[in-house]
Amino acid sequence: MAQAAPTVLQLVQSNSLPGLVQVEIEQLILRGELAIGQHVNESELASRFGTSRGPIREALRALEESRLVRSEKNRGVFVREISVAEADEIYDIREALDQLIGQRVAERVTKEQLLRLKAVAAEMDETVRVQDVKGYHALNLKFHDMLVDFAGNSRLTESYRLLTKGLLLFRLRGLKDGGGFAVSNTEHKAVIAAIAARDPTMAGRLLCRHAVESRARMHKAAAATSAE
């Protein structure tokens, strides 16, 4: 326990400057401050963080490896954007991983973890009630983050988060939400029920199914947006 404090202190001590810069730039991208497809200026970031370009370049190399940016020779790095096709590829993998996650969580979830999952689902219900799409998406990320965390496989957590981040680079995200983020949360609650029942097979199947539906909602949203 006691995992609340060591955030800043430990990071500054263990992670070096490029590591810090990396997470900072990542936040910039994920928060949309660096727009999708946009060119990333090294000098600008350097002066912004008060360092030279060296650490910035190292951080960008790491981000390139995790596919958050792409790099063109002598032109610099750009915030990566993914097509529907690539989003589909990611969803293929995500479905497989979600099935695994559902199984593992159902096997080893604690009572306390179960309560936290239910709490987040309740919060999401509230955002649905007031039509807070932005808040819903934030909680949705948190929910799936908790799930993969509870699966107890750190490498799986890593891979899953990487995939999820990639999905956030989808151009049309957030637009014209396919109509059903209410139904999305009912799926969440079904998953929780299967987990509470300690039914790995069912939990895996439902979570996989949830990913399938999520992908379908993405397609619906993409079609609706591109048709305008």
Partner DNA sequence: AGACTGCTTATTGTCGACAATCTTCGATGG
Partner DNA sequence: CCATCGAAGATTGTCGACAATAAGCAGTCT
The contact set with DNA (CB under 7 A) reads 16-18, 39-43, 50-55, 57, 71, 73-77
Nearer to a second copy (CB atom), residue 189 or residue 209: 209
Nearer to DNA (CB atom), residue 73 or residue 111: 73
Q: Is the Cβ–Cβ distance between 59 and 22 less than 8 Å?
A: yes
Given 15, 47, 201, 226, the residue binding a second copy (CB under 8 A):
15
Footprint of a second copy on 179-218 (CB under 8 A): none
Q: Which does 42 bind (CB under 5 to 8 A by kind): DNA, a second copy, none?
A: DNA
How many Å apart are CA 187 and CA 170, to the nearest integer? 23
Place of tokens 């079609």: 223
Instruction: Check residue 75 for interaction with a second copy (CB under 8 A).
Output: no
Closest CA to 116 of 202, 5, 196: 196
Q: Which does 29 bind (CB under 5 to 8 A by kind): a second copy, DNA, none?
A: none
Place of tokens 């909602």: 217
Q: Which does 9 bind (CB under 5 to 8 A by kind): a second copy, DNA, none?
A: none
Round to the nearest angstrom and report the end-to-end CA distance of the chain.
Answer: 50
Q: Is the Cβ–Cβ distance between 82 and 170 less than 8 Å?
A: yes
How buried is 69 (Cβ within 10 angstroms: 0-12 exposed, 13-18 middle, 19+ buried)? buried
Nearer to a second copy (CB atom), residue 15 or residue 47: 15
Q: Is the Cβ–Cβ distance between 203 and 122 less than 8 Å?
A: no
Distance of closest approach, residue 12 Cβ to a second copy, in angstroms: 10
Footprint of a second copy on 23-62 (CB under 8 A): 54, 57-59, 61-62
How many Å apart are CA 219 and CA 179, to the nearest integer? 12
Closest CA to 81 of 30, 36, 113: 36
Q: Which does 39 bind (CB under 5 to 8 A by kind): a second copy, DNA, none?
A: DNA
Residues in the interface with a second copy (CB under 8 A) total: 37
User: Which residues bind to a second copy, rule: CB under 8 A?
Assistant: 13-16, 18, 54, 57-59, 61-67, 71, 73, 86, 89-90, 92-93, 95-97, 99-100, 104, 153-156, 158-159, 163, 166
